[in-house]
């Protein structure tokens, strides 16, 4: 019997648990490996990800699901066990990135704006991923704040694609993680927190309108948004309390209560910043959905550096990963503090 979508979605946001985004495309993981001087090969990518998935405490206690890349969902651990089984053995749900990347959107802002592709043949790919063990999927749309952008055309095209993707996922028995990311590393200095609020609100409102039109069951999906935060080039940065308050305000005005959970992306924030902001939001509380993490960089950065591509550092890499997973698990319960961070 196929599991109910809402049961899977609820398990993905179980108390104190969140998602590990380990779905870097081959190009992106190469950049990460370049930063530690490791050659990116099928084997090194496998070794690195196997290290994370086998981090005993980090996975079992704090991670509800792992987002995989096409290569990884087909890979076997060094001992021959499929990585999907390693993840399941840790009590986590395997997921899969199904978009085929953000491509330049034809039009006046072709150098800046992007639309995510990957709908053609998606029904067939989802059926295969289901057989490979995936029970949730991810599709990321990116919205860029700059002089003149985002355009309505870009917001609408991306929201529409997200809704078509989400409907196809649910047809296949897979929970869609709907990710409309308003980038924080936009090219513009005038990228204030207020502008981020405005653009995120517009984007999310459009996404939920499209999800409604596509008859997506809100109980069987997860939203993966950006936090409301000033752009990295903006001279005026907001305090963590302001980020938490404005993020909650924006979500309250756009996300229906039927959605079981919201799992944030980290988007280039520092590890601790991403943790602190999430914890503050959960301290404020009073919202109808679970608020947790679906971090890539903010969960992996320390582990990647502790590992450094050396097999003798696997235990150190796992310790670094477990620490971040634990801190974010506390944050998902509003219980993180700087003291706990430093005590470890
Ligand atoms: P970051 O947390 O590094 O933004 O990655 C999350 C993710 O999956 C982006 O699509």
pLDDT tens readout for residues 192-233: 999 999 999 999 999 999 999 999 999 999 999 999 999 998
Q: Note the pLDDT of residue 307.
A: 98
Asked about 103 being catalytic, the answer comes back as no
- pTM given for the model: 0.98
Residue 171, exposed/middle/buried by CB under 10 A (0-12, 13-18, 19+)? exposed
Catalytic residue among 224, 276, 290, 326: 224
Q: Note the pLDDT of residue 1.
A: 46
pLDDT band at 243 (very low <50, low <70, confident <90, very high): very high
pLDDT band at 190 (very low <50, low <70, confident <90, very high): confident
Which residue, among 138, 157, 174, 165, has the nearest Cα to 263 in the 3D structure? 138
Catalytic residue among 24, 50, 113, 179: 179
Centre of ligand 1 to C-alpha 265, Å, is: 5
Provide, rounded to the nearest whole percent, the portion of the chain with pLDDT above 70: 99
pLDDT tens readout for residues 283-322: 999 999 999 999 999 999 999 999 999 999 999 999 999 9
Q: What secondary structure, in 3-state letters, does 69-103 show?
A: CHHHHCCECCCCCEHHHHHHHCCCEEEEECCCCEE
Residues 137/179, Cβ–Cβ less than 8 Å: no
Which residue, among 253, 338, 332, has the nearest Cα to 14 in the 3D structure? 332
Asked about 272 being catalytic, the answer comes back as no
| 337 half-sphere exposure, CB direction, 13 A CA radius | 4
Nearest residue (by CA) to ligand 1, atom 4, is: 267
Q: Note the pLDDT of residue 277.
A: 98
- Give the residues surrounding ligand 1 with Cβ less than 6 Å away: 21, 140, 179, 265-267, 295-298
Interval 114-135 mean pLDDT: 98
Stretch among 108-112, 186-190, 304-308 having the lowest mean pLDDT: 186-190
């Amino acid at each position: 019997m196929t599991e109910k979508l809402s049961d899977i979605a609820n398990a993905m946001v179980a108390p104190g648990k969140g998602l590990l985004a380990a779905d870097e495309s081959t190009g992106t993981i190469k950049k990460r490996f370049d930063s530690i001087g490791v050659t990116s090969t099928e084997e090194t990518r496998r070794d690195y990800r196997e290290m994370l998935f086998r981090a005993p405490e980090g996975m079992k206690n704090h991670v509800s699901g792992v987002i995989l890349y096409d290569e990884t969902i087909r890979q076997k651990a060094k001992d021959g066990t499929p990585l999907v089984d390693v993840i399941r053995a840790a009590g986590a749900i395997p997921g899969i990135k199904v978009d085929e990347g953000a491509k330049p959107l034809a039009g006046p802002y072709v150098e800046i704006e992007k639309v995510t592709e990957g709908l053609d043949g998606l029904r067939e790919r989802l059926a295969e991923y289901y057989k490979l063990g995936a029970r949730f999927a991810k599709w990321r749309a990116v919205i860029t704040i700059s002089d003149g952008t985002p355009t309505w055309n870009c917001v609408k095209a991306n929201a529409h694609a997200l809704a078509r993707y989400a409907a196809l996922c649910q047809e296949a028995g897979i929970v869609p993680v709907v990710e409309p990311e308003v980038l924080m590393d936009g090219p513009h200095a005038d990228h204030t927190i207020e502008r981020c609020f405005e653009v995120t609100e517009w984007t999310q409102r459009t996404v939920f309108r499209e999800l409604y039109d596509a008859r997506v069951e809100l109980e069987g999906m997860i939203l993966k948004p950006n936090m409301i935060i000033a752009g990295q080039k903006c001279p005026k940065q907001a305090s963590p309390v302001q980020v938490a308050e404005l993020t909650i305000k924006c979500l309250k005005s756009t996300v229906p209560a039927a959605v079981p959970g919201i799992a944030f992306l980290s988007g280039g924030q520092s590890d601790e910043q991403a943790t602190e902001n999430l914890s503050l939001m959960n301290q404020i509380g009073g919202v109808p959905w679970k608020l947790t993490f679906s971090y890539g960089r903010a969960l992996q950065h320390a582990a990647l550096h502790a590992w450094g591509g050396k097999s003798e550092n696997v235990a150190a890499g796992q310790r670094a990963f477990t620490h971040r997973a634990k801190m974010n698990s506390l944050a998902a319960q509003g219980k993180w503090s700087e003291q706990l961070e430093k005590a470890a």
